[in-house]
Amino acid sequence: MKVFTKSLIFFSSGLLILTVLFRFSLSAMLQNQYFRSVWIIAALYGIMLFIIGWVFGKKDYQELPLYDIGFRFHFATYLICNLVAEIWYLLGYQSDYEKITVVHLTTLFWGIGIILHFIFFLITRKNAIKGMNKDDIFE
Amino acid sequence: MNKNNFFSELLFAWEETYKKGQLTLWIFLALSDGKKYVDEIKTFVEEQSNHTMTCESQSLYRNLRKYQHIGVVDYETGEGNKGPDRKYYYLTELGQSLLNSFLDRNIKLFFSEHIKHLINREG
């Protein structure tokens, strides 16, 4: 089964660019003490993330309705968002008002979410033939 | 609502439900008839079903990708008509066996004398 589909690669690339831009804007705004306006870029980032996930996820599903698309996209999001955040701190690009513990806690709690999603993924796998939901194969 | 409208509405509602799930059978029958590219499959399905079944090329491609993924259909490329190469789809051995079993279990029932008699009975 193809894990890295074209849509997933496009999504991951878009996500990586958006996450770097978000991290850069966030740190810059906090450093300049624009505390009240920070939510705007966070909301924009969230909306853009949702849009590209929706577009490429749908495209992937239309190409081949594999049951694990949701998990693959979720896992890619988890990896990219958290890796970018960790590397950001590792390189010392964060503002004076950001703490590394927040990043670690996000990785931890989101990681629990990923594990739960993975369990759900394993359960639904029983209802699939060659990665496709039985109900989706024949029309 | 007059009686004719009511009858038509009931018939269409039943047909809508009945047609669900039939596209696979028509595609398999088309490919059982020989290797075909998507436009030929579309023509086969529409003509042989007396235009009671319609299908978009996009929908056919999507279905064929799924069937290829599970190994019941495959394709080989052949020359197109003045254009790019075409994909000629065909049923694999597994696909042909699947179609035969499906026909035996679900379609050939209608060919029993008793059922044929019931279908042909009028009024």
Mean pLDDT of B99-120: 92
Residue A70 in any domain: the answer is yes
Residue A28 in any domain: the answer is yes
A137 touching B, CB under 8 A?
yes
Which of B78, B64, B7 has its CA nearest to residue B30?
A: B64
Residue A1 in any domain: the answer is no
Task: Tell the burial category of B99 from Cβ atoms under 10 Å away from its Cβ (0-12, 13-18, 19+).
Answer: buried
What is the ipTM score, two decimals? 0.74
What's the structural domain count of chain A?
1
CA atoms of B63 and B72, how far apart (whole Å): 11
**3-state DSSP: chain A helix, strand, coil percent, rounded to 5?**
75, 5, 20
Helix (H/G/I), strand (E/B), else coil: A49: helix
CA atoms of B92 and B94, how far apart (whole Å): 5
CB contact under 8 A, B66 and A132: yes
pTM (two decimals): 0.79
Chain A 37-96, residues with CB within 8 Å of chain B CB atoms: 62-65
Average pLDDT of chain B is: 91
CA atoms of B67 and B95, how far apart (whole Å): 9
Indicate the range of A9-13, A57-61, B79-83, B94-98 predicted with least confidence: B79-83
Average pLDDT of chain A is: 93
CB-CB neighbors (< 8 A) of B70 in chain A: 129-130, 132, 137
CB-CB neighbors (< 8 A) of B99 in chain A: none
Q: Which of A129, A131, A138 sits opposite B21 (nearest CB)?
A: A138
At residue B21, the pLDDT reads 82
For the segment B20-61, what is each residue's pLDDT rounded down to a tens digit?
Answer: 889 999 999 999 999 999 999 999 999 999 988 888 999 999
Q: Cα–chain-centroid distance for residue A16?
A: 9
Question: What does each C-alpha distance from A106 to A11, A80, A117 come to in angstroms?
Answer: 21, 13, 16
Question: What does each C-alpha distance from B66 to A55, B8, B32 come to in angstroms?
Answer: 20, 35, 17
Residue A13 in any domain: the answer is yes
List Cβ neighbours of A128 (8 Å cut-off, separation of 6 or more).
A67, A134
Contacts 24+ apart (CB under 8 A), A75-79: A75/A114, A75/A117, A76/A8, A76/A11, A76/A12, A76/A15, A77/A15, A77/A49, A77/A53, A78/A110, A78/A111, A78/A114
Residue of A nearest to B70 (CA): A130
CB contact under 8 A, B69 and A129: no
Residues belonging to chain B with any Cβ–Cβ distance to chain A shorter than 8 Å: 20-21, 23-24, 59, 62-63, 65-66, 69-71
Residue of A nearest to B67 (CA): A137
A3 touching B, CB under 8 A?
no
What is the domain range of residue A114? 6-137
Residue A47 in any domain: the answer is yes
In chain A, which residues have pLDDT < 50?
none
What tokens were used for B115?
A: 């059922």
Residue of A nearest to B20 (CA): A139
Residue A57 in any domain: the answer is yes
At residue B2, the pLDDT reads 80
